[in-house]
Amino acid sequence: MGQWCHIQGHLPMYRRVFLWRLAMEVKLQEALELPLDDSEVTEATAATEVIKYEYHVLYSCSYQVPVLYFRASFLDGRPFSLKDIWEGVHECYKTRLQQGPWDTITQQEHPILGQPFFVLHPCKTNEFMTPVLKNSRKINRNVNYITSWLSIVGPVVGLNLPLSYARAASQNE
C-alpha cells in the first residue's frame, strides 16, 4: 500500500450489530416482521448474535487520502474472516468493489497497531472524491472532506453516518 505517515493518535469507532442467526430456515420477510408479543421477542433474542465492528480512519502518505481500516468480531472475540466480511457487503456494493473505483476489500496489518484489519484500498479515493469537491466549489458550499468520504465508503462496510453528523461537521467549519 505504500508509505504511511504517523498522525498523532487515531480515533477508533465501535459499533455493535445484532445479527439474526436462526436455527431453522425462515423466509426473509418473516424474519423481518415485528414480534406480536413478548414471547416471540424472547425466542428471537435467544437466536441473536451481537457483532462488534471497529473502525479506524488513518491517512496514507502515499495516496494522500484517508483510509478506512475495520474489523468485526463476535462478542466472544472470534474474528470475522474475509469471507464473512464479503458476505456482509450488500450486493450493490460488491459490484462496485469488484469493478468500480473501490478496487477491493483486503486484509492486512494495521500500520499503527500491528494487528490484522480489513481495509478498503485507497488507490481510487481521489478519483471518486474529486467530483464531490468540484461540485461543492461550484455551488460555493464548504464540504467536510472526511465526513463526505466516510458517507461514501462507510456504508460499504456497515458504517452509516447519521445526517446529524454531517450537520455538526458543517457547523464547526
> Considering the chain, what percentage of its residues have pLDDT values greater than 70?
63
Q: What CA–CA distances, in Å, run from 167 to 4, 13, 115, 143, 162?
A: 30, 19, 34, 10, 9
Domain span at residue 49 reads 12-123
Rounded to the nearest integer, the mean pLDDT of the chain is 74
Q: Is residue 98 part of a domain?
A: yes
Q: What residue ranges in the chain does DSSP mark as E strands?
A: 12-20, 48-60, 65-74, 105-109, 116-120
- Contact 102/124 with Cβ under 8 angstroms? yes
Identify the pLDDT of residue 99.
Answer: 65
123 a catalytic residue: yes
From the list 5, 61, 92, 123, the catalytic residue is: 123
- 21 has pLDDT over 80: no
Please tell me the distance from the alpha carbon of residue 145 to that of residue 125, in angstroms, as a whole number. 11
Decide if 172 is inside a domain: no
Least confident piece of the model among 15-24, 113-122, 147-156, 159-168: 15-24
More confident residue, 27 or 143: 143
With respect to residue 164, please indicate whether it lies within any of the assigned structural domains. Answer: no
145: phi then psi, degrees, rounded to nearest 5: -55, -50
Q: How far apart are the first and last CA of the chain?
A: 31
Would you tell me how many other CB atoms lie within 10 Å of the CB of residue 57? Answer: 20
Residue 74 pLDDT greater than 80, yes or no: yes
In 3D, which of 89, 15, 114 has the Cα closest to residue 55?
A: 15
Average pLDDT on 64-90 reads: 89
Into how many domains does the chain fold?
A: 1
